[in-house]
Structure 1
Amino acid sequence: MNNYKLIVMDMDDTLMNHENEVSEETKNYLIRIQEEGYKVVLASGRPTEGMLPTARLLNLDKNQSYAISYNGGKTVNVATEEVEVNRPVTKENFDLIVDYCRRNEFFVLTYHNGHIIYEGEHEYMNIESELTGLPMKKVDDLKSYIQEDVPKVMGVDYVANIVKALDSLNGYFNEEIDVTTSKPYFLEFMATGVSKGNAITLLCNKLNIELSQVIAFGDSPNDISMLEIVGRSYAMDNASDRVKAVADKVTLSNANNGIPYALKDIL
């Protein structure tokens, strides 16, 4: 008998199919294994508000489980919406990140009161809203409008420009800010030490679960920190080669119910 207790999964391009939905097969399977005693956790770069509808669809609220949002910057109890962990970007660093994005001509956005706050325009400007379902609010000057800490900041641009910036920064903006990506056109800035891997480690400590008892699924560079530390890790077939190289195994794609396909084999 296996000794796994917790299954954690990314959302976009992992749990969600190309229609930005959870398939019926995947949904029904994840609900059933929770009834059998396994705990399911979502871990995403998405804002919390953009995760909770899917978390509730999968009955995470009824099973006293958690959503890890903003790449690990915040962990929330789905049933109560109580914040377990919160690691924001300070206002001072927010201003520095906005300056950097402006210099590089990136479209820049952040999150405040359940809205995506942005300035300027870009061909890709609506993607985050379409993914998360959060409304967008345009402001004249982000630095003037935002006067407090924020959960995450994101620069958006064409893939070649984001790849160039990622290579140049190499995961490091300054000693208080790390950089990653969840989609090839998103450059994501979080507080140093914020990662899905660190968030899962803290959650497992709280739940008295060993990391060796965790199964994780992902597809993007921001998933690597969790895939490296768990007992069994799976990259989706649509994942980048870098992610596949880290994972223990590669399962079917997000369009082909890759999560239940892998879990049926191991559970």
Structure 2
Amino acid sequence: MRDNDRVTSATRQPEPPAAPPLATSPEQGGAPIVRPRLIATDLDGTLLRDDKSVSPRTVAALAAAEEAGIEVFFVTGRPARWMDVVSDHVHGHGLAICGNGAAVVDLHGGPGAHRFVKVRDLARENAVEAVGLLRDAAPGTVYAVEQTYGFYQEPAYPKLHMETPDTLAPAEELLAPDGVGSDQPILKILAYHPELDPDAFLTLGRLAVGERATITRSSPSALLEISGPGVSKASTLALCCAERGISHEEVVAFGDMPNDVEMLTWAGRSYAMGNAHPAVVAAASGRTVANNDDGVAVVIERLIGDRL
């Protein structure tokens, strides 16, 4: 079993949301807020509206943030090839953290020209162990394999994603040392169960797999996302910030689902969307309105106003 490099998230107790529910005050608990240098935002259910569009208001807010000297990172569970929805809206460095922290991708160049800057893969031996342990703990689980440039799945895996898989085969065959795509890093394994409650499946998966991998979820269905040990949105964001000399206190983060919890806990300021999962609300230090009401833009506009 091989561990990836680990970055431990800072821990803190989330502060209670201010009244009204939108917590964008320049002060929390009477202490002055550090001016932000980086905004880290999830995409689906957060920056994107439910129709997967980026609203004109949000586009303008992102541009204003970078014009004010605040870097913007898209931090998502999506693979790089699903980043076309925001490729036209990148500014400055144009980097995104994809696959729940498994890869950092340069979005410049547009669709089809994305370049992997950093990869934090899931070792094949860890992947095989995780698949076997989860099969034993939750019979009926089916799998898909996400790699840097390929997507493969088991025949019984449902059509949940945007594309047709490159290969259909049992996960153990896909993950074999000489299996299809063996020359590419594994970014994450997707595990789907047709009957279990999503949160119960997440708890079961984490107990079954232990430290062999990181398990989270971002879908409303019982779909788990399995990454390398210590790999998360938070740990990869921390690496990127350290490279830029940015502290966690200088980061403002946004999210809506359990795969955002570590990032929201790590960031100096964090906002749960109005449509967020209860675990996200508990982890964040503030709240904003729902994704369909441009909750990210609402906060960014206030942040920019506070800097003037």
Name the residue aligned to 1:242: 279
Contact 2:54 2:86 in 1 (8 A): no
**Is 2:143 the counterpart of 1:108?**
yes
Identity of aligned residues (%): 26
Q: Which residue of 2 aligns with 1:157?
A: 193
**Ranges in structure 1 where 5+ consecutive residues have no aligned partner:** none
2:293 to 238, 244, 256: 256
**Alignment check: 8 A CA contact 1:163 1:184 kept:** no
Q: Secondary structure at the match of 1:175?
A: helix
Determine helix, strand or coil for the equivalent of 1:198: helix
Between the aligned partners of 2:123 and 2:44, the Cα distance in structure 1 is 27
Q: TM-score, normalised to structure 2's length?
A: 0.76
What letter is aligned with 2:63? I
Whether 1:50 aligns to 2:87 is no
Contact 1:44 1:71 in 2 (8 A): yes
Partners of 2:195 and 2:242 in 1: CA distance:
37
**Aligned residues of 2:147 and 2:188 also touching (Cα < 8 A):** no
Decide whether aligned partners of structure 1 residues 232 and 116 sit closer, same or farther in structure 2, where only a CA change above 3 A counts: same
For residues 135 and 54 of structure 1, the distance between their equivalents in structure 2, rounded to whole angstroms, comes to 19
CA distance in 2, matches of 1:112, 1:170: 22
Q: Deviation per CA, 1:225-252: give whole Å up to 9, x if none.
A: 1111112100000001111111111111
- 2:90 is the alignment partner of 1:72: no
The structure richer in helix per residue is 1
Instruction: Name the SS of the counterpart of 2:201 in structure 1.
Output: helix
> Given the alignment, which residue of 153, 156, 162 partners 1:121?
156
Deviation at 1:91, TM superposition (A): 1.6
Q: Which residue of 1 aligns with 2:30?
A: none
Corresponding residue number in structure 1 for 2:169 = 140
Provide the secondary structure at the position in 2 that maps to 1:151: strand
Root mean square deviation of aligned Cα: 2.3
8 Å CA contact 1:39–1:65 kept in 2: the answer is no
Paired amino acid for 1:222: N
Aligned counterpart, 2:51: 19
- Count of residue pairs the alignment pairs up: 258
Larger radius of gyration: 2
Q: Which amino acid aligns with 1:94?
A: A
2:99 maps to amino acid: Y
Confirm or deny: 8 A CA contact 2:130 2:212 kept in the other structure.
no
2:85 partner letter:
T
Runs of at least 4 residues off by over 6 Å: none
Q: Which stretch has the larger CA shift, 157-166 or 108-117?
A: 157-166
Answering whether residue 266 of structure 2 is matched by residue 229 of structure 1, we say yes
> Residues 112 and 192 of structure 1: is their aligned pair in 2 closer, same or farther, counting only changes over 3 Å?
closer
